[in-house]
Structure 1
């Protein structure tokens, strides 16, 4: 079954078309006039926090954003010193076009994108794969040995044989909620405790191949960056990435993805209650509040007390926490009775992936120079089993400084770098690349200081993004569905969750956006509001289209 409709992140767990809800002329909904101006605390100025704040402002509520460190969360675009627009994307850097809700805001803010230079793509120009000392040059998959095409075919066959991939993806394209649920829910029932590695090794397609095929598959990746560091993860999580096209047609944001949130911060959309020209920035007096240290139920039992690091306390009628879930038990003193104990269990069981990046700025895109001995570019997008793992090149024009992501690694490979200085990380990367490209003097082109990050070392993150293990589906369902609060005890209403820790598709900004929109609906209804009947919101259809409940 095929479909000509564009693929979007429709489900598969909750089959709700967020992009259609956003685009509908009726808007997301309304809150009663007596709630206009009511304050809502939002913990975290990342994608989920800023987008939720933007939509709540439009409804006439007063979002108050608290940020512990840096605006942008994991959409962190750092400008190299001495430049205005030479960017290192420290967090999210590639954005699949199927992320329709995220692109709604990106397009609304007038930003441009370009194809991301992933391996074997036209945007990369050329790719080098270096495994066990053997170096292969390719411009597309056909330039590689037969083994690589056999691996690609085997994975495609395994998905089709094991999950009926074609029919399920066609149902997602068609936004056929009933069909998606009919095909997806049985897979959840059968695969909840299945790892990615088990799926690969037990599939008939890979059993017909050698261990070497599986080994290369783990080193080079199942898509545009998923290596064997994902092998222990839940196969449901990997299958979602494939089904929703997150590993295809990826783009990067010109000027840095953080610009999306910066522009939302200063944007002046039409709002209920607020006068023309109101922005998030103006509501905040130009700056977010400081780090939150304490959240509790206020004496009135109908509001919350939020305290920041300077002991300033403010009462709010609702709170939205978009930070990584582990911060709710480590960095923030959260009154235990605000959540039911099963929800605390789910939050504490959230497992994060480690990730490290090393960037340098160079004088120009010298990697495009042609080596007269080989007739090939001096350097190519590189996948390797060496410590760099993935090396990417960003061309800002022939006369402008370029950027090299010398190394992008996950899990154990990222932990190898954790205690090292930025300079040592660069040295290790250059030494590894020298073995792949002997005689190419990368260091002579480096300008300024490197930009490096290990997300697990940042006290405000404790990891890069969620990576669900087998058996985590029930936990994910608890936190994802927490925005549906009508049937919860009064003591557990009014505090909401959103962000990567809540999403079914961690590491992809679309998941953060969708959970933010869930929270917007939840907060809207918490204040007695509702979606327009002609444009029902996520909570209006959750009972019928929400994630399947597994037995306890």
Structure 2
């Protein structure tokens, strides 16, 4: 009857054969491996050149023995305990990223719920306001702001000061909604209720509990709790609306699953040095541990991040070259902090979620796995833009001290329980040089479109070739789109690629 919608994603079913055509794929991140996985099914002969000694690119879970090289910072090695990890790159899968979930199912990668929104985490605003330099539970801030705003609007509507065409009955309905939404009393006044939590918890006997006094709107305003650091809350962002998922055991399980399928096609430690469109085919020069080498193929899929590609010799068109050299990537970094015990759970009842700050940390992420376990790793900062640049300019030891100093303002247990850390500044990481692509509206119409078409025999793929920047879905959707375009070219058939993300 057409009442049940089709599944949002399915195996890629393209007709025809690649007939042994050779395709060289640059980069063994998710886009490169997904493209090879689908092309291999169609009979293409694929070779993946990967500069690192690991696959996954930015889909990387840092574990014991993991290494990373940053410009100016040298090699960094993780000393976490066996079994401990944190996701240095993507950590969340939105429920509407159907293709990502499809590949998890097809490749037998188990997933579990990721707790992104937790009302028991904190806001911490450094400053000079009456609520500054104090940790405030997110539920308290949300309840109080919602209550005061609802009271203001209800009073304005009741007094006829809102210029909208409503009947008296309609106005009363809106006011009733505001009373329910903001927790207002019969006089349309906000009074603190149990929804903001208790200063003394209820319990047995005559222990009814004590509700704390609400924070005033003025105090919250003067303390910065209405600033963008706090009001851009995760639950309002489309990509972060529940339900969110994660791969059980770390997001690198997804990369590992692809590697299991296409690992035989990958040449690790192969750093691309030049890319040449030929009259027929393409030539790629690369360097591995044995020296300089070249290879030729019929076609090429380039998934190299654009800030890295910008420094690789090539003979692309002027439009493509201009786009590659111009597109800016996000400066961003994370630090994983291993602690002797999960004090955020044991002492403060925080199971997953994010604490937001206005200082250099920006965010603290609590793990949404191994609840009530022994040791644990939380993400001590996840920052962006200028804060990420400043943090990235510190040494690894200085980053650790920054995370401990600022984190101790919120969790005094830090110093006593801390064991070791590992930090990543993606904009300084070799072979990435940024977190994800950033486009202005004008650049979407010019630079972005210049790379959507192949440059002769070279196709461009990766999260930077989608509107799903920063998400694994961007890499996977881009890979499928390019495979469809390339296969159309080889077979002479027209394959349109539907987007399975929404």
Question: Bigger shift: 386-395 or 135-144?
Answer: 135-144
Question: Bigger shift: 92-101 or 420-429?
Answer: 420-429
CA offset at residue 378 of structure 1? 11
- Matched residues in 1 for 2:444 and 2:246: separation? 31
Give the aligned partner of residue 71 of structure 2.
none
Give the aligned partner of residue 99 of structure 2.
101
The normalised TM-score by structure 1 is 0.66
CA offset at residue 475 of structure 1? 2.7
Structure 1: state its 5+ residue gaps: 7-16, 155-209, 227-240, 268-279, 484-491, 543-552
Larger Rg: 2
The CA RMSD measured in Å over matched residues stands at 3.3
* Matches for 1:75-474 after TM superposition, within 5 Å: 75-80=59-64, 81=79, 83-120=81-118, 126-131=120-125, 132=127, 133-138=132-137, 140=139, 144-146=143-145, 150=149, 216-220=226-230, 222-224=232-234, 242=238, 245-267=239-261, 280-284=262-266, 287-288=267-268, 290-298=270-278, 301-309=279-287, 310-330=291-311, 332-335=312-315, 338-339=316-317, 341-370=318-347, 381-394=354-367, 395-437=369-411, 440-447=412-419, 449-474=420-445
Correspondence 1:516 to 2:499: no
Judged with a 3 Å threshold, the aligned counterparts in structure 2 of structure 1 residues 150 and 46 are, in CA distance, closer, same or farther, namely farther
Question: Bigger shift: 466-475 or 214-223?
Answer: 214-223
CA offset at residue 248 of structure 1? 4.1
The normalised TM-score by structure 2 is 0.73
Judged with a 3 Å threshold, the aligned counterparts in structure 2 of structure 1 residues 416 and 266 are, in CA distance, closer, same or farther, namely same
Contact 1:142/1:149 (8 A) holds in 2? no
Correspondence 1:23 to 2:23: no
- Number of equivalences: 406
Contact 2:121/2:353 (8 A) holds in 1? yes
CA offset at residue 258 of structure 1? 1.4
- Matched residues in 2 for 1:432 and 1:150: separation? 31
CA offset at residue 493 of structure 1? 2.4
Q: Secondary structure at the match of 1:327?
A: helix
Structure 2: state its 5+ residue gaps: 65-78, 154-219
Q: Secondary structure at the match of 1:314?
A: strand
Contact 1:31/1:60 (8 A) holds in 2? no
Question: Bigger shift: 509-518 or 83-92?
Answer: 83-92
- Matched residues in 1 for 2:449 and 2:148: separation? 40
The one-character-per-residue Cα deviations of 1:175-197 (angstroms, maximum 9, x if unpaired) are xxxxxxxxxxxxxxxxxxxxxxx
Q: Secondary structure at the match of 1:42?
A: strand
Judged with a 3 Å threshold, the aligned counterparts in structure 2 of structure 1 residues 416 and 142 are, in CA distance, closer, same or farther, namely closer
* Matches for 1:487-526 after TM superposition, within 5 Å: 492-526=455-489
- Matched residues in 2 for 1:73 and 1:5: separation? 37
Contact 1:47/1:72 (8 A) holds in 2? yes
Q: Secondary structure at the match of 2:43?
A: coil
CA offset at residue 134 of structure 1? 4.8
Judged with a 3 Å threshold, the aligned counterparts in structure 2 of structure 1 residues 305 and 86 are, in CA distance, closer, same or farther, namely same
Q: Secondary structure at the match of 2:381?
A: strand
CA offset at residue 97 of structure 1? 1.2
CA offset at residue 82 of structure 1? 5.9
